[in-house]
Chains A and B, each alone.
Chain A
């Protein structure tokens, strides 16, 4: 199966690429022992497609990738296996080398909660924020927004996805005046997280992926501690109302674009979140704390 990409950074076009791939690959996964994915035509990797294929390959070991370019652009992106900071002592210097580029490598962070993984993950996310600030030149109040978005969604992956890793991808488009920041996992997805919940709340009525996405937005957390469940909807509000950006969340067949929830008519087990954030014409009065609840 030949994997296609697109140089068209229109969000809808990239989402349709993902949908076309899933519609073709899912029957093959069901009916075959192994599925070969040929990346010979995959010369350009926008962050949404890059993170999707990286997380997909992690989550479906039955699918084997080959013909991935070992030099040039994809190599700098560490596509498709990602840069794993826990395994590289000099990860900070590696990331620093991207300060003159418009993108960062695909980052694959561990979701383990031991001290080393926790400290590394925390500091990698901090350094990614720092690099995004350096690459884009955005002011401090916008950097705080990036920090908020990245920390809340990555922490959800650690707490809920049951995935071994989370993924981060980033690209800045200075000519077009925006950046794309994506976070993904190859975990159990939002619906399964509710189905596996064992606690005092009753989530038995959540029966499909669209409902699961909706309940996540409404802040219904599968963790019993009170006052949880704020991360996703406040991230969305900061992005849409504060930053005037675009929000995408995809899990199962549930696709949320901004405030719109629809059946994507294809299926992905894990979860993918994307933020498209305008850069330039910064509002000095913007602050995340007017959105944080």
Chain B
């Protein structure tokens, strides 16, 4: 069965980075139902969080369509991003969202504030 696994080399489409959701979509839409694939991350040293999320989300959907997908030649950095996204599916709490409201109404105060930036 593994001999029928088709290799999809991402570096055939992209340079060394996958930077967007649509980049993942470009590859995924080429997969056929009931197909068996290896997504080859060879020469890819960065996967954006958005792209990793798209991949993880679609992977589950593809499994339901009978598509067997594995990842090969995954660098440590790419693996770190995939793991972060997979972890967020069970805990989607967002940190670092602090916002401090500045109530500046006078133009002179606004200029004073900006000149200190």
Which A residues have a C-beta under 8 Å from some C-beta of B? Answer: 10-13, 15-16, 113, 115, 118-119, 121-123, 125-127, 129-130, 144, 147-148, 150-152, 154-155, 158-159, 210, 214, 217-219, 225-231, 233-234, 236-237, 241, 246, 256-257, 259-265, 289, 291-293
Taking A12-B116, A122-B23, A265-B110 as contacts, is the C-beta distance between A230 and B49 under 8 angstroms?
yes
**Contact status B117-A292, CB under 8 Å:** no
Query: Which residues of chain B come closer than 8 Å to A241, judged between CB atoms?
Result: 96
**B49 and A233 contact, CB distance less than 8 A:** no
Q: Quick check: B49 and A119 within 8 Å, CB to CB?
A: no
Distance of A181 from chain B, by nearest CB (Å): 14
Contact B117 A158 (CB under 8 A): no
SS class, residues of chain A in contact with chain B: helix
Q: Cβ of B14 and Cβ of A13 under 8 Å apart?
A: no
- Contact A259-B100, Cβ < 8 Å, known A152-B48, A293-B84: yes
Which stretch from B1-9, B33-41, B50-58 is at the chain A interface?
A: B50-58
Contacts of A228 in B (CB 8 A): 53
Task: Please tell me if B65 contacts chain A, counting CB pairs below 8 Å.
Answer: no
Say whether, besides A147-B19, A151-B19, A289-B84, A227 and B48 are in contact (CB < 8 Å).
no
- Give chain B residues whose Cβ lies under 8 Å from the Cβ of A289: 77, 80-81, 84
| A226 / chain B contacts, CB cutoff of 8 Å | 89, 92
Interface pairs A-B: 7 shortest CB-CB: A12-B114, A151-B48, A12-B117, A151-B19, A237-B96, A126-B15, A262-B102
